[in-house]
Structure 1
């Protein structure tokens, strides 16, 4: 897409092992990764409206609709359909670092991620060249110019509510917040205080106002030390989910579409843990139309939960690991009914008509690309298998 005109939580020392149904298993092997962060168990109580470029259809994405399977998404120019594209984790570490100084460094993603009316990713890095590493194994950072690189991929908004947003401490956070003010695209999920961190970005497309939130419930140092508070900068926390639920509920009464991008789940797991499933249910009840996210470095399952479309794991996207299964990636494109979103045609059902997964593989240069026909078929099958352990519906109810 073209650019738009535009609580503190204590870390819980509980490790949860998520189990997958046999039908959702694939050939994944244990792999090393960024390391050591988990979700924890919780109580059961608990840019623009202009015509976008035409998406490439070779190979065609896997599409699920309420009536049948098809091989193409609705054209972004259809006035009755708003298309929204989502992809996973993006950073600029090691051999990806030179891209951060090139506005066109990710321009090749325009025909996949950028082909939708609105597009979003998780920007998993501090925006700073200063600061001191906090006490953890992996640290990600990039200069402010990286925001233009992300914009050049066709991205309209990013979330920075994740376990790497404050990797370089208070100095790095100060730089990140300064970069946010001057960013060419909106940044959600991080702020100088909780009001800013939990505030949505409001995007406009197809005559709709779309409220976008970002939040994290990955229990590690960032969440425990750098969750935003009343007079404290940091990331938006979904642990507990109370503050986020309140913000989503308020937005659902004011805006046409509400999107929540979460950093959640367990490293290297293919199925949602109970806390993620509980959070999705709470946010669906609060009025979220789209609930997506990642953290596990795996592509997880997706589907409909009541009126919400939920995707538990979008995988890595622009990333320094390029060996399967870490390299499995893709773009999720949702087609939303504009009339239902406005309320003029609402029947109490989901505004998300269809969901299409465009499988990709991350190359040795860290950039995801569409693979050949054989890998496309294989990866599409794994995407469909991943839904077996989610408890989600394959079509809107």
Structure 2
């Protein structure tokens, strides 16, 4: 028989031991100063449609250079249209340099200072493509100046880079819950510059659509991790109002690879736009900020605004404008109605549909 005092001591020791086992020592694995809080998953952001606006070809050559004296107003009243969209994009058809040597044998060479980026940003432009037949007009020195200016400005640019990986790399941004990827490339290069201007492994230059498989692979890669894939191309034949065979061949390949939108320009005039299966194609956005000596067909321009939800292009809207003094001035009233009807009529020779 255990004496009562000894029994009391024994029971006290057991109680202390049990308490120590129930409360692990602080700092040890599994220790907790308080009961574990329940894990609450944050709801995923709801995806909603977004808008993206596209303008055509832009440079700041000739008399347009003076507009960069005040970059905040360089694009004029069209900036209101671009700024109203969730995203806006144009083709920047110029080298960004004040030096370099003009490409030998070229009739027209374009260059502009880095304030071109400032002007575009001030006008509401979010990203530009520099993959075009003027992106390296001032050759290797101009290219290095361009790449340095892009790096300093931190302005989003596609279609050009220090090597092929960078040139074909998409611009990425999540807009209203949509993961958007935009790739830039050029189908137009002067024959004598195709090799020297095309980016390659360890070689700076432009993303070329002439290397179709490289471009299609970039689209397929973007498709894997994006809700919306957009390809911006420099393509077409100057002053030809219907798409050429190279465009008609490439567009369906891009759609099959996963492109939801394919837009571009080069022809200096507007071309048709519409649906190819469920994807949206614009074969020609025309000139935009461009010196024009007349208000004829090369002065007809505008902004294409698409409303997109994931892979679905829900709506297209054309805001017609006319180039005056080198910049696009939006049209109003009856003039706008007639210009919009004219733009829609261009679809007739494009093989595209008004609806998906």
User: TM-score, with normalisation over the residues of structure 1?
Assistant: 0.75
Among 107, 117, 126, which residue is 1:156 paired with? 126
* Alignment counterpart, residue 109 of structure 1, candidates 65, 78, 99: 78
Contact 1:164 1:222 in 2 (8 A): no
Q: What whole-Å deviation, never above 9, does each CA across 1:296-352 have from its counterpart, x for those lacking one?
A: 011100111122100000000011014211100000000112xxx1xxxxxxxx510
Give the deviation of 1:184 after TM superposition. Answer: 4.1
- SS across alignment from 1:303: strand
- Residues in 2 aligned to 1:290 and 1:183: alpha-carbon distance in whole angstroms: 27
Q: 1:94 aligns with which of 40, 44, 62?
A: 62
Structure 1: 5+ residue runs without aligned partners? 1-77, 342-349
Deviations 1:163-217 (A, max 9, x none): 0000001100000010111224200000111011000111221122211110001
State whether structure 2 residue 52 is matched by structure 1 residue 84.
yes
1:5-57 CA-to-partner distances (Å, cap 9, x unmatched) read xxxxxxxxxxxxxxxxxxxxxxxxxxxxxxxxxxxxxxxxxxxxxxxxxxxxx
Q: TM-score, normalised by structure 2?
A: 0.84
1: CA distance between counterparts of 2:86 and 2:99? 35
Alpha-carbon contact 2:98-2:113 (below 8 Å) kept:
yes
Deviations 1:264-309 (A, max 9, x none): 0100011101110111111000001110000001110011112210
Aligned to 1:118: 87
**Change in 2 beyond 3 A, CA 1:311/1:217:** same
Aligned to 1:193: 163
Q: Are the aligned partners of 1:301 and 1:311 in contact in 2 as well (CA < 8 Å)?
A: yes
**Higher relative contact order at CA 8 Å, sep ≥6: structure 1 or structure 2?**
1
Bigger Rg over Cα: 2
Asked if structure 2 preserves the Cα contact closer than 8 Å seen for 1:107 and 1:152, the reply is: no
Residue 291 of structure 2, aligned match among 296, 309, 320: 320
Query: 1:81·1:336 contact (CA, 8 Å) conserved in 2?
Result: yes
Aligned residue number for residue 173 of structure 1: 143
Size of the alignment, in residue pairs? 307
Q: Aligned with 1:368: secondary structure?
A: strand
* Match of residue 211 from structure 1: 181
Cα deviation code 1:234-265 (max 9, x no counterpart): 11000031101001001011111111100001
Separation (CA, whole Å) in 1 of partners of 2:199 and 2:48:
38
Between the aligned partners of 1:237 and 1:101, the Cα distance in structure 2 is 33
Question: Residue 185 of structure 2: SS of its match in structure 1?
Answer: strand
1:249 lines up with 2:249 in the alignment: no
Residue 260 of structure 2 corresponds to residue 281 of structure 1: no
Higher helix fraction (1 or 2) = 2
Instruction: Classify 1:187/1:222 alpha carbon distance in 2 versus 1 (closer, same or farther; 3 Å).
Output: farther
**Is the alpha carbon distance of 1:222 and 1:332 closer, same or farther for their aligned partners in structure 2, counting shifts above 3 Å?**
farther
